[in-house]
Amino acid sequence: MWFVARKMMRHDLGMMVPAGIAIVVGTLFIAMTFLFGNTMDVSMRRMVSSDAAQANYAIIPAEGSHPDQKRVKDFKTEELAKVPEVHAVRSDTQLMADVRAGKIKSEGVIAIPMADSSLMPVGLAKGSWPSADDQVVLPGPTVSRLRLSLGDKVNLNLSPNMLYISEDHGSKNQASADQVAGRFISEPLTLSGVSSNRGNEGGEFGESGGAIVLTPKTIDAFMATAGLGNMGNLYAQNAYLNVAGQGSDLDGTLASLRKLMPSGYSLEDRHTMEDRLVKTALGGSQNPVTTFLLVFGTLAMFVAATVIANTFQVMVARQRRYLALLRTIGANKSQVRASVLMRSIILGAVASLIGVGVAIGIMAVLGAAKAHTSSLYFQLKLTPAVFLVPLVFGIIVTVLASLGSSWAATRVSPLEALRPADLLENKRTSRMRLFVSVVMILLGITMTVWSLWQVRLSATADKASKTSGDGPNIVAAMAVIGIVLAFLGILSSANRWIPFILKEVGSLVSRIGPSSTIAVANIARNHSRVAATGTALLIGVTLVATLATGAASAKQTMANMLDEHYSVDLQISADGLDDKALNAIRRIDGVAQAELVPQYAAMVKSGGENGAGMTIFALDSHKIDRLLNAKVGKDLSGQDALLLPESRMDKQKDFHDGGNLGLNILNPIQGDAHGGSASVAQRLFVTSVYAPFQGIDASNFYGLTDSSSLNGVQPQTVQIWAKVDGSPTVPALIDKVKDALSGYSAVAVKGGLAEKQQWDRTIDSLLMIILALLAVAVAIALIGVANTLSLSVLERRRESATLRAIGMTRKQIRRSLAVESALIALVSSLSGMVLGLLFGWAAAYEIFSSLGTVAFPIPWSTGLVILLVALVAAILASVLPARRVNRTPPVVALAEE
């Protein structure tokens, strides 16, 4: 049968091209989904581990442990560097410094020690790293602000608001301004280079656009000048290493390193560290980006499979006459099926390889062009799934689609197979098919609802009882299977409900004219053909609507989550902040709201945290919602209400909704002879209902209260909190804040703006990917519609010829086909939009419910575009083939069949 299969492929090459295009686009979509997922994974890992630079190992706190804060000397970096196969070591430490050039000063800039260039967490924009103790590298924004050039001289000193380690007690103490002010290093330093933040504005160095880089000996001189010993007394978070070797040599090196690391810490390779950092950055939940792509990628794979199957089924149904002729001349059923199987395998394999090749080519071009969108860097990362999944998927789907039609053709006698397919179709559509469809729909709905209910229970449960391990994956898989089953049932029963709806709508349209009457009559007569055409469009529109709804829900949900996670954009501290400083901040372009926020020190006098220190921020409950990203004003309006972030809610420690919490407020006015703070009379607060806010910078755990609750109590200090309108970049805005407060000392700017903007850009990058996937999905839908309608029109050449023979004009035939396709497009598109909306909401809830309240938007603009595109595409797909039919004389068209 190979000879027959080859001959039929050559004969039907024109008919196979549309099916091949559908397979190419479908497999391209799948391959691009995996490639985009790989790119997102790489970008996410790069973002969370940017401080590690090119290190391949790290000494970080062990998972689940909470060791005491360590100092540089605790990491024994000098001993680590002497271990064989260790090429470089850097302790993750920093200090704050002020830079002065002439009369211009830049305060509170992060400074880090110089290490091997491969381990530096900042880039070098120009110049060179400091090679001598009298050289310094400054961040780009600081260089611009101080109007410096390479080779210029600058003076540095420790920032007065820097937190140091006391040699005597080993605890944090804040150096006062008169202890450090004016202690500039006597010898000016030479600017040898300009640092940058490795191409993005987020991360640890986003606020300053880089960092000051000094040699360790220069930092030792800083510390000695302030009477703080040397660099070994600075706090350090982690240690990063470049380790060589392999096999037993590497094992021996790692064993030696583990003996030297502090207690409570673990030695992890780069990949393991990035896995943990991604998990931590996402609050312990599964990466929503990866989950988003996997869930919608799975749905896209299913929809593409249905488009391919539908297209190929129409093509094979068109070949029923050829298959019947083969049986007439002696071929048996097995041989006919074998010939179809050969053709489908060849077509599926070739088209799938083309689709994968095009996807790889697109990503390779993006990577070679160094295309990126802030934190998302496109690059070609190949995995087995990129090749195997699309190839296997394309072959299997094509084979299954072709076998289904070939079995339908070979189940009847050759004489019956020569008859028009429509005369046999209603015999094939049995009650059993309807019964199976209904069962699939009900089973799919049940599985999806059960999965959503489990997700809701998990999201509302206490942290200790939340599902872990493979549980969430199983629940998500159940939802995907449920959606697929329900959609399969809807598609399987499309030959019942699509013609029914079209009949009701057509009863109104049929009164317009003869062309409309013929169109509605064709719809009512050819249920299987109408269902095939409508299903092709239904699939594409459902896919597009699902992705559009999911993307809109993701954008809004993640935006709300980021607002809660980073509730304050900017926290500005300085000595003596007042109304004049507040007005200066309010005048900065990009600052939407700003307020003075008193800060109080308190001590907990009840519950499981008795004796613990606490920071209290006092805000006007009527202004707080305009200042914070989180909406908590209604929760703060109660008398003596104290709001705590979710991370501090613990019933065992008496931190819970409605619980009583005793506090002693420390009043600095009643200071003792040693400059300490005495406590005022005990105050009793009642915690409000949980308010979604966090990300506020404080030396210990904190809460919010209304300003009226602390009338008569002197705050320890006053900050300025500002809300940004989102337009300015972080380094530029920080620079403007420091310029506005140039007359104040110890200026420091913190807050979640840098992190929030970085996550915003990550989400925008994801949505750009979704838009790209939507474009591919639209192509799949249009190809499916064009294929099915084109073949449908070709099948009806006899009908068209008969109509023309009895007097119908070519224009009326084209109009009839246009009305028919428009009706099918309208009903199928609206149905697909409703299904896509429900599927998108369900998928979004599965993915994002663990992150917060899920938004359920209705993308009206996208829906309107989908409807217009579907109508235009359907009309073009039917009218253009009709022109070819009209060119054929009626006698010739009648004789062809």
* 443, amino acid identity: L
Average pLDDT across the chain, whole number: 75
Predicted pLDDT of residue 303: 58
What span, in angstroms and rounded, lies between the C-alpha atoms of 319 and 8? 10
Q: Please, are residues 751 and 697 in contact by the beta-carbon 8 Å criterion?
A: yes
Highest averaged pLDDT of the listed ranges 50-59, 553-562, 577-586: 577-586
With a CB cutoff of 8 Å and minimum separation 6, the contacts of 860 are none
Here the tokens at position 859 are: 């993308």
User: How far is C-alpha 248 from the geometric centre of its chain's CA atoms?
Assistant: 40
What span, in angstroms and rounded, lies between the C-alpha atoms of 644 and 657? 9
- Beta bridge mates, 173: 164
Q: What is the pLDDT of residues 372-410, one digit of tens each?
A: 665 567 788 888 888 998 899 888 888 877 776 667 656
Predicted pLDDT of residue 158: 77
Q: Token match 């298959």: residue? A: 323
Predicted pLDDT of residue 190: 93
What span, in angstroms and rounded, lies between the C-alpha atoms of 458 and 454? 6
Q: What is the pLDDT of residues 844-883, one digit of tens each?
A: 888 777 766 788 888 888 788 878 877 887 777 676 666 7
Predicted pLDDT of residue 241: 94
Q: Is the pLDDT of residue 639 over 70?
A: no
Q: Is the pLDDT of residue 193 over 90?
A: yes
pLDDT band at 52 (very low <50, low <70, confident <90, very high): confident
Highest averaged pLDDT of the listed ranges 9-13, 619-623, 646-650: 619-623
User: How far is C-alpha 687 from the geometric centre of its chain's CA atoms?
Assistant: 34
Q: Please, are residues 615 and 600 in contact by the beta-carbon 8 Å criterion?
A: yes
Kindly report the backbone phi and psi dihedral angles of residue 798, in degrees, each rounded to the nearest multiple of 5, phi listed first.
-65, -40
User: How far is C-alpha 2 from the geometric centre of its chain's CA atoms?
Assistant: 48
What span, in angstroms and rounded, lies between the C-alpha atoms of 388 and 145? 54
Please, how many CA atoms are within 13 Å of residue 136, restricted to the half-sphere of its CB?
33
Secondary structure of residue 807 in the 3-state scheme: coil
Q: Please, are residues 853 and 553 in contact by the beta-carbon 8 Å criterion?
A: no
Alpha carbon distances (Å) from 108 to 51, 104, 297, 577, 746: 20, 14, 46, 16, 7
Predicted pLDDT of residue 136: 94
CA dihedral 422→424→427→429, nearest 10 degrees, is -50
Q: What is the pLDDT of residues 311-353, one digit of tens each?
A: 666 666 666 667 677 777 777 777 777 777 787 888 889 989 9
Secondary structure of residue 174 in the 3-state scheme: strand
Predicted pLDDT of residue 673: 37
What are the E-state strand segments in 270-380?
A: 372-373, 376-377
By the 10 Å C-beta count (0-12 exposed, 13-18 middle, 19+ buried), 3 is classed as exposed
What span, in angstroms and rounded, lies between the C-alpha atoms of 760 and 766? 10
Predicted pLDDT of residue 206: 61
Handedness of CA 342, 347, 352, 358 (dihedral sign): positive
Return the axis-axis angle of helices 810-848 and 860-887, rounded to nearest 10°.
Answer: 150
Pairing of strands 212-214, 104-113: parallel
Q: Please, are residues 126 and 150 in contact by the beta-carbon 8 Å criterion?
A: yes
- Going by the DSSP 8-state scheme, the letter that residue 656 receives in this structure is S
Here the tokens at position 541 are: 């529109």
Element (H, E) at 617: strand 613-619
Mean pLDDT value of segment 47-71: 82
Q: Please, are residues 714 and 669 in contact by the beta-carbon 8 Å criterion?
A: yes
Q: Is the pLDDT of residue 70 over 90?
A: no
Q: Token match 């009908």: residue? A: 799
Tell me which of 692 and 31 has the higher pLDDT. 31
pLDDT band at 681 (very low <50, low <70, confident <90, very high): very low
Alpha carbon distances (Å) from 891 to 802, 817, 887: 9, 21, 12
pLDDT band at 209 (very low <50, low <70, confident <90, very high): confident
Predicted pLDDT of residue 361: 93
Here the tokens at position 460 are: 């509302």
pLDDT band at 611 (very low <50, low <70, confident <90, very high): low
Predicted pLDDT of residue 168: 39
Here the tokens at position 877 are: 């797909």
What span, in angstroms and rounded, lies between the C-alpha atoms of 317 and 406? 8
Q: Token match 């896509």: residue? A: 836
Q: Please, are residues 844 and 554 in contact by the beta-carbon 8 Å criterion?
A: yes
What span, in angstroms and rounded, lies between the C-alpha atoms of 360 and 345? 22
The mean-pLDDT minimum among 211-220, 413-422, 755-764 falls in: 413-422
Mean pLDDT value of segment 582-591: 90
What would the 3-class secondary structure string for 67-133 be? Answer: CCCEEHHHHCHHHHHHCCCEEEEEEEECEEEEEEECCEEEEEEEEEECCCHHHCCCEEEEECCCCCC
Mean pLDDT value of segment 660-665: 75
Phi-psi region of 723 (alpha: psi -120 to 50; beta: other; left: phi over 0): beta
Portion of the chain with pLDDT greater than 70, in percent: 68
Here the tokens at position 611 are: 């004796």
Q: Give the number of other CB atoms < 10 A from CB of residue 464.
A: 5
Radius of gyration of the chain (CA): 35
Predicted pLDDT of residue 171: 38
Tell me which of 460 and 143 has the higher pLDDT. 143
Q: Is the pLDDT of residue 790 over 90?
A: no
Handedness of CA 835, 836, 841, 843 (dihedral sign): positive
What span, in angstroms and rounded, lies between the C-alpha atoms of 363 and 455? 35
Q: Is the pLDDT of residue 520 over 50?
A: yes
Here the tokens at position 84 are: 């064989």
With CA atoms as reference, report the closest residue to 338 among 411, 403, 433, 417: 403
With CA atoms as reference, report the closest residue to 390 among 360, 418, 363: 360
